[in-house]
Amino acid sequence: MSPRRAAIEIHGAVQGVGFRPFVYRLATEIGLTGWVLNDVNGVFVEVEGDVEDVQRFVARLEAEVPPVAHIDTLSVEWLEPGGFDEFEIRHSDGSGAKTAIILPDLATCAECLTDVENRTDRRHRYPFTNCTNCGPRFSIIRELPYDRPNTTMSSFTMCRSCRDEYDDPSNRRFHAQPNACQDCGPAVTHLDGAGNETTGDGAIEATVGDLIAGRIVALKGLGGYQLLADATNATAVGTLRERKHRPAKPFAVMVQDLDELDRVVDGTGAEHLLTGPSAPIVLLPERSTSGLAEGVSPPTSTIGVMLPTTPLHRLIAAGAARPLVATSGNLTDEPIAIDDTDAIERLEEIADSFLVHDRPIERHIDDSVTWVVDGAPQLVRRSRGYAPMPIASSTTLPTILATGAHLKNTVALSVGSNVFISQHIGDLETPRAEAAFAQVIDDLTRMYEATPSMVAHDAHPDYVSTRYAMDRSRFDDVPRVAVQHHHAHLASCLADNGTDEPALGITWDGTGWGLDGSIWGGEFLLGDASSFERVAHLRPFLLPGGEAAVREPRRSAAAVLREAGLDIDPALPGLASFASSELGILDQMMAKQVNSPTTTSAGRLFDAVSAMLGLVEVSTFEGHAAMALEHVADTLEDGSYAIPITRSDEAWVVDWAPLIRSIVDDLAVSVTPGRIAGKFHNALVGAIVGVAERVEHPRVALTGGCFQNRLLTERAASRLRSSGFDVLMHRSVPPNDGGISLGQVMVAAARHDTPGEASTPA
């Protein structure tokens, strides 16, 4: 049989995952000749041999990919023989348009952990051990293709032993770009409060000693600095809260292994998330045996738990032999620090000591947060381990830059049929956050050498992200598309589920600029990425003080009482903290509609009820009041408040006013907060199903920050399915504003033929 040659083009997560050595080993095992190389688009292979052998090679390519690789597309073109003598791995090609998928940073694999823990291994206790199956990627790459000279490891020259591994196709460290050891790689240094330095393994021991003694350590991790403290030490946790000015928002906890995890939380069904290559923080129920200080997660019994993601974290966690708080190394509303000098300047008032290292971090990357909801994982914060993996579109998209929302900001860039979503940037509330936002955009467009033909942004005119989009549009002379906030939520959920078909989007969150100039947030939108109709919404009410009402749920409580036709009674638990004169001023503000915008916000309704029950009257972080309300709610399904659905000229209206009156009646006869909260959740679920039955669209999407409430989400999904609806939920991007940038891209793409400066409903 005469030989044939096949040219194979492979796209997907196929760089930095040991794909080329996998191809090399497979080709030589089958007896084929040819070559393989990376370029800025993907992996290209030419193999030559008998047709049956080449076909077997192609079949095994798809069936036996390396553990963390993923093939999106594979095409084969048959050619005449090329006369190859052997199979070789060729040098990467850096020319051409850049569309290759950059792999996220990956948690240390089991084999590398074995090396670190093996006393006879040359990498014993080396904190930067990695191989092609694990280690840093996105945090160190400067440009495509992913090769060592294009990373922050370029200044570290491999020793002979590491070079031999790197050059050996049979070794799992073959072409592992961050490959290093104690003799040639990055090193750690401990800095105590007096400025004394300790290097090498002694630095790790000094860090462990600090933690055991109750001190706070700033650790330079994979994608930036973290603040560590003993999670079982109430004084250490309290000190960290005081210094970080974070009075109540839950801290994440790092445990050393699955045994310690099982003592702290119930991880049933989440083990694969915790031990997988992404290794995010996972939200799990705390056990009574946790031993955690009460201050770790005060508003809830859910703990965000993670396993060590690098050998450095593993060595510290094992040495401390106790759960450790592991929270972002930043000040409020600022991005995490990545530069050593900057970190010491910003964190010196918080940390008692620092553990630094000399491998530069190219870009900041927070830990990702996920949980299991309705039987499957759902991301709450998409960053390390996930970003910048793309969401695939069924069609080729224009090159669109989307600047995201104001809170929980991410940005997105469409290249070909992929939408690349940035790592979590955070709330754009400070100059440092704004600078980080602009840097991430420059970073993403530079890496992919992409020139956006369109800029998409939120419809709110005063957001930082909107102002940036306006300036960018003028500077680049490209059109911009203003996307209504809740329309972006709906489009994001559809894209997350890989569908272009329309759905009834239950889009509930805190605030979003409405097309009528009011603040939306309790919306039922029927449509797709191209257009929508607002078919229903919650009954509107006023927000006395505007933004002040977001920070003070007690203001929302006063507003819903007034809207429900009740007295703003200072005897109610949530209003007792007001002075009588303050309540009078609030009432006058609403009567005259002075600094009291109208809203339909479901988030503010949750706030109001939480405050009415005396749970949270003044919030210290977003979602504080709603989290407390869900935490106390009983899980009984047999009780609910009346919540009528009426018809206005334009849409159905969910009238929560009778519910508020019933809550006041229940408070008067001492019904427990748990029972009231449970009936409140059941009422909202009933309203969701009631509107869906009136609209009669077969597909329903649950999106927006309110659907980070497990009780609301799971109960609504169950009731909807039992009523015959197909339910779409977020999985790969968060339901909160972290998913907005994806939706903005999809809306702008749907309108790219006639882009305008504002989106309009159908």
pLDDT value at 238 more than 50: yes
The domain boundary residue, chosen from 89, 117, 132: 89
Residues 397 and 476 in one domain: yes
Task: Tell the residue number behind the tokens 């927006």, with chain if given.
Answer: 704
Q: What is the CATH number of the domain that holds 10?
A: 3.30.70.100
Residues 545 and 676 in one domain: yes
Residues 352 and 492 in one domain: no
Q: How far is CA 241 from CA 247, 298, 330, 331, in A?
A: 6, 11, 13, 11
d(CA 470, CA 460): 12
Residues 545-584 pLDDT 10s: 999 999 999 999 999 999 999 988 888 888 988 887 889 8
Task: Tell the residue number behind the tokens 């993670």, with chain if given.
Answer: 306
> Could you tell me what percentage of the chain is helix, strand and coil, using 3-state DSSP and rounding each to the nearest 5?
35, 20, 45
pLDDT value at 427 more than 60: yes
Q: Would you state the pLDDT for residue 19?
A: 85
Task: Determine, yes or no, domain membership for 171.
Answer: no
Residues 349 and 397 in one domain: no
Question: pLDDT grade, residue 105 (50/70/90)?
Answer: very high
Structural contact between residues 43 and 18, judged by C-beta atoms closer than 8 angstroms: no
CB atoms within 10 A of CB 695: 15
Task: Determine, yes or no, domain membership for 703.
Answer: yes
d(CA 152, CA 359): 7
pLDDT value at 443 more than 60: yes
DSSP classification of residue 274: H
Residues 604-641 pLDDT 10s: 999 999 999 999 999 999 999 999 999 999 988 889 99
Q: Would you state the pLDDT for residue 100?
A: 67
Question: pLDDT grade, residue 83 (50/70/90)?
Answer: confident
When comparing pLDDT for 181 and 637, which is higher? 181
Task: Determine, yes or no, domain membership for 94.
Answer: no
Residues 341 and 483 in one domain: no
Task: Determine, yes or no, domain membership for 132.
Answer: no
Q: Would you state the pLDDT for residue 97?
A: 58
Run of H or E residues at 38: strand 33-38
Q: Would you state the pLDDT for residue 102?
A: 81
Task: Determine, yes or no, domain membership for 149.
Answer: no
Q: How far is CA 88 from CA 3, 24, 35, 328, in A?
A: 18, 7, 5, 44
Residues 163-178 pLDDT 10s: 999 999 889 998 899 9
Residues 702 and 566 in one domain: yes
Q: Would you state the pLDDT for residue 551?
A: 94
CB atoms within 10 A of CB 648: 10
Task: Determine, yes or no, domain membership for 162.
Answer: no
Q: Would you state the pLDDT for residue 760?
A: 35
Task: Determine, yes or no, domain membership for 581.
Answer: yes
**Which ranges constitute the DSSP H helices of 417-463?**
431-447
Q: Would you state the pLDDT for residue 757?
A: 40
Q: What is the CATH number of the domain that holds 403?
A: 3.30.420.360
* Single pTM value for the model: 0.92
Work out how many domains the chain is built from and give that number: 4
d(CA 156, CA 740): 39
Question: pLDDT grade, residue 448 (50/70/90)?
Answer: confident
Q: Would you state the pLDDT for residue 216?
A: 98
Residues 272-299 pLDDT 10s: 999 999 999 999 999 999 999 999 998 7
Structural contact between residues 675 and 573, judged by C-beta atoms closer than 8 angstroms: no
Instruction: Please state whether the peptide bond connecting residue 280 to the residue before it is cis, i.e. omega within 30 degrees of 0.
Output: no
Strands (E), 166-285: 188-191, 197-199, 217-220, 225-230, 252-254, 281-285
Residues 432 and 299 in one domain: no
Residues 438 and 350 in one domain: no
Q: What is the CATH number of the domain that holds 600?
A: 3.30.420.40
d(CA 463, CA 488): 15
Residues 396 and 347 in one domain: no
Residues 361-370 pLDDT 10s: 999 999 999 9
Residues 249 and 393 in one domain: no
Q: Would you state the pLDDT for residue 762?
A: 32
Mean pLDDT over 230-234 rounds to 98
The domain boundary residue, chosen from 59, 89, 119: 89
Residues 667-723 pLDDT 10s: 999 999 999 999 999 999 999 999 999 999 999 999 999 999 999 999 999 999 999
d(CA 490, CA 744): 10
The distance from CA 247 to its chain's CA centroid, rounded to whole angstroms, is: 23
Mean pLDDT over 519-542 rounds to 97
641 three-state secondary structure: coil
The parent domain of residue 464 ranges over 388-497+740-750
Residues 198 and 339 in one domain: yes
d(CA 610, CA 513): 24
pLDDT value at 300 more than 80: yes
Instruction: Please state whether the peptide bond connecting residue 390 to the residue before it is cis, i.e. omega within 30 degrees of 0.
Output: no
Question: pLDDT grade, residue 755 (50/70/90)?
Answer: very low
Q: What is the CATH number of the domain that holds 339?
A: 3.90.870.10
The domain boundary residue, chosen from 89, 104, 138: 89
pLDDT value at 758 more than 50: no
Residues 492 and 618 in one domain: no
Residues 312-321 pLDDT 10s: 999 999 999 9
Q: How far is CA 93 from CA 36, 97, 100, 145, in A?
A: 11, 11, 12, 7
Phi, psi angles (nearest 5°) of residue 634: -75, 165
- The percentage of the chain sitting over the pLDDT mark of 90, rounded to a whole number, equals 83
Task: Determine, yes or no, domain membership for 347.
Answer: yes
Structural contact between residues 213 and 286, judged by C-beta atoms closer than 8 angstroms: no
Q: Would you state the pLDDT for residue 67?
A: 78
pLDDT value at 92 more than 90: no
pLDDT value at 96 more than 60: no
Q: What is the mean pLDDT of the chain?
A: 93
